[in-house]
A and B are shown apart, each in its own frame.
Chain A
Amino acid sequence: MVDNPGGSQVSAEVNAAWAIAKKDMFIYYIKPNIIVSGLLFPLFMFLAFASGKNVPLGTLIPGLISVTLLFSSSTIEPVSIPIERRTKTFERLISAPVSLHAIVFGESLSGFMYSIGIALAPLLVGIFAFGTGIPHPLYLIAGMLLTALCFSTMGTLFAAYPTESPGDIMSMLNLVRLPLIFVSGTFIALETMPPVGKAISYLSPLTYGNDLIQAAYGHPAYFSPFLDIVMLLLFFFIFQFIAHRLYTKFNE
Chain B
Amino acid sequence: MDAITVQNLTKRFSDLVAVDNVSFTVRSGEVFGYLGPNGAGKTTTIRILTGITAPTGGSARIFGLDIVSDTIRARRQMGIVYETSNVYDDLTAWQNIMFAGELYNVGKQERERRGKELLEVFGLWERRKDRVHGYSKGMKRRLTLAMGLINDPKLLFLDEPTSGLDVQSNLIIRDVLHDLTNRGVTVFLTTHNIEEANVTCDRVAIINKGRIAAIDSPERLKKTIQSVQSIEVAFEKGIAKVLADLPGLPAANEIRKEGDKVRIYTDDPATLLEEIMEYARVHQNRVVSATTRGPTLEDVFIHLTGLSTQVKGGDKDGR
Contacts and interface: CB of A to CB of B under 8 A. Distances in A.
A251 B73 CA distance: 20
Given A88-B84, A89-B88, A4 B72 contact: no
A18 B84 CA distance: 25
B50 interface: yes
Interface string B85-106: 0111111000100011011111
B114 A95 contact: no
Interface in A7-31: 7, 9, 11-12, 15-16, 18-20, 22-23, 26-27
Contact of B72 (A22, A26, A92, A98): A98
Interface stretch (B148-156, B195-203, B207-215, B260-268): B148-156
A18 B98 CA distance: 13
A4 to B, nearest CB: 4
A87 interface: yes
A93 interface: yes
A12 B102 CA distance: 8
Given A23-B91, A27-B91, A97-B72, A91 B86 contact: yes
A1 interface: yes
A87 B86 contact: yes
Given A1-B152, A4-B107, A92 B102 contact: no
B54 A16 contact: no
Interface stretch (B75-83, B168-176, B231-239, B278-286): B75-83
A87 B152 CA distance: 25
Nearest to B155: A1
Interface in B144-188: 147, 150-154
B103 A92 contact: yes
B103 A91 contact: no
A96 B114 contact: no
Interface in A96-129: 96-99
Interface in A175-212: none
Contacts of B147: 92
A48 B153 CA distance: 57
A16 B105 contact: yes
B103 A19 contact: yes
A40 interface: no
Contact of B54 (A5, A92, A93, A252): A252
Contacts, number: 94
Interface in B101-129: 102-107, 110, 114
A2 interface: yes
B45 to A, nearest CB: 14
A94 interface: yes
A93 B107 contact: no
Nearest to A11: B105
Contacts of A18: 102
Interface string B54-66: 1000000000000
A1 B153 contact: yes
Contacts of A15: 102, 105
B288 interface: no
A114 B222 CA distance: 59
Contacts of A9: 72
Given A2-B110, A3-B106, A4-B107, A94 B153 contact: no
Nearest to B150: A2
Contacts of B114: 2
Given A1-B153, A94-B52, A96-B75, A12 B86 contact: no
26 contacts: A1-B77, A1-B152, A2-B104, A3-B106, A4-B107, A4-B110, A11-B105, A12-B105, A15-B102, A15-B105, A16-B105, A18-B102, A19-B99, A19-B103, A23-B91, A88-B84, A89-B87, A89-B88, A91-B86, A92-B80, A95-B51, A95-B52, A97-B76, A97-B104, A98-B72, A252-B54
Given A2-B106, A92-B100, A98-B72, 20 more contacts: A1-B152, A2-B114, A2-B151, A3-B151, A4-B105, A4-B107, A4-B110, A9-B72, A19-B99, A20-B103, A23-B91, A27-B88, A27-B90, A87-B88, A92-B86, A92-B147, A93-B103, A94-B52, A95-B75, A96-B104
Interface of A: 1-7, 9, 11-12, 15-16, 18-20, 22-23, 26-27, 87-89, 91-99, 251-252
